[in-house]
Chains A and B, each alone.
Chain A
Amino acid sequence: MSVKRKISSHPYIPNSVPEVKAQMLQEIGIKSAEDIFGIIPDHLRFKGELNLPEAIVSEYELTKHVEELLAKNKNCKEYLNFLGGGCWQHYVPAVCKTIMERDEFLSAYVGEAFADHGKWQAQFEYASCIAELVDMDMVNTPTYDWAMACATTVRMASRITGRNQALVATSISPERLACIKNYAFSIVPDIVQVKCDPHTGLMDLEDLKAKISSKTACVYFENPNFFGVIESQAKEISRIAHENGALVSVGVDPISLGILAPPSHYGADIVCGDVQPLGIHMYAGGGLGGFIATPDEPKFVAEYPSLLFGITPTIEPGEYGFGEVLFERTSYASRDKAKDFLGTMAQLHGIVAGVYLSLMGPQGMREIGETIMYKATYASRRLGKIKGVKILFSAPHFKEFVVNFDGTGKTVKEINKALLQHKIHGGKDLSVDFPQFGQSALYCVTEIHSKKDLDYLADCLEKIVS
């Protein structure tokens, strides 16, 4: 793989130059690093050499090696992509990339708000932009992803209400459901799913009414839901929850919020979602970051596990400074007595989402929402006209929709294999997670798809199923 060679020092390890190393050992007063490691009992020492590949010390050779590996992937520039479901292909503006690439942000960590002032301000501005989008006053520094964000809201709701059951819509992402079940388990062991109306794709309100009780800490649903369906009964769901003393947590795709009402307007107490659509590439699922927003009331604020960056004056008149709000809540301050835990999460992605929202502004967010709505609606109509293919769920959808292939006699797996021959990544196969919907797939259409792309998809599908 690599060209074997002797080098006088490794480019990443400057003190590996033998003369420097020797001088340092002499100044310490030891002969070798073994004089430091010698304290490790012999039976705990690793003997021999690690069985790792030989070093590729040449940057060019490393690049070739990684390029060869990545060439085995069929990326979404080469292939048309219709996969979404929590990681979406959107256009990433150049300025977002430039800022994400800055070494200052990229390689900073937990520096204080003096020498890392810019990082704190960028993070505060990110939270401020999300706050406008969801129309709520308190926003966290991002957690790992939407799944951990919604699971966190369930724990927050449990602590606020003192209850230990959560009602969760069936129409949420199965991966997010799996995270909720594991993450919330210790205080919310009882996760009950509320049915989805098989015709409209909306929540079955009768089922909600039957299941909600004085044990319910919160009702969690997504809007648009995992199937792309716009939950138009949101206000009614909130009313039912509140009547029973439960909180309402809503997961939302932030790129929809230029045209769809923010959940706070239909009764949500807590809002969460993912920042990935806001100027961050998919990175094979690596581009995620979860936001949480609530009213700016102590009963909510006290239950966040996240760092909360607050604006505060400095000793220099007129200067903005920043600091941690209610730091004692966090596990950095209070360890096992804290509200859950925190750590290295997804702050860089938060900063980039702030850049994106500042570039887009209110007009851009409205326009992109409309564009996505137009294109997804066009695609679903086009596909719905193919013989044997039908669009499940009658309610309006945003960005994603469920295509059923039962009438074609073919499985989604077969269809997707055939689509690959046409250089298309077909929609996510739902037949395992949602067998009740037969051979169905979740298709995602965003602003990056042209009419030509959508027509090509429809033409290919037509050929495959006929």
Chain B
Amino acid sequence: MRSFYAVYRKEMGHYFVSPVAYVVIGVFVFVTGFFFTSYIGQAILAGLQGMQMGMTQQDLPGEVMRAFFGIISLLILFFLPMLTMGVYAEERKRGTMELLMTSPITETQIVLGKFFASLSLYAIMLVPTAGYLTYMYFHSDPIPPWRMMLAGYVGVLLFGGALLALGTFLSSLTENQIIAAILTFTAFLMLWVLNLGANASSSVGAVLGYLSVIAHYNDFTKGVVDTSSLIYYLSFIFLFLFLTVRAVDSLRWRRA
């Protein structure tokens, strides 16, 4: 536990000493803020049109929230590779992997320390977006159920956690962080493409739908915490962290 915390602390320090964290958080807050205001604008417009047509029951805040969680899931496909690309690649290149691997600390402690550090930074990235939604919460009528917002964040965290676990694994495969970044982008893109296939109404589509990392996320944005999705994400994270541990361990055997 102490070694896990040491690695976690070191990784967090590393994020905030370098400009990475500030740039990623800053740009993410700006871009999400831009989309949020534009969704609000659209919702107000749609609300006025609805009133003209005599509709009385409209769930505009809910729609804003769904659209907003949707765009976050798309944006993190581009932002999260930046958090994980250097996690192992840098360590191998600098030779500090040699320090970690000759210290009384297990591969699992290293992998978990690094994963939870990237997850924490991701959570910090999300905090300002919760500010936007809270603002809307207090200024909308009807007030959207707060459980919906909570479910959305559980989904965003799980979805992001899955991406981070995958990115962490890909970073452990190479010494070069540019290659790690490209691999991660490509893998995330493939997940997205896979999701498009899932919309096809066939048995293949149904299978792809179950496998798709993104499809499971949609339940959460509607305010539903589905146990199968929960288990899906946790197993996804577990699988890739396990593979990362194996990949780190295999460095001992591979090195020429």
Instruction: Tell me, yes or no, whether A binds B.
Output: no
Binding site for B on A (CB under 8 A): none
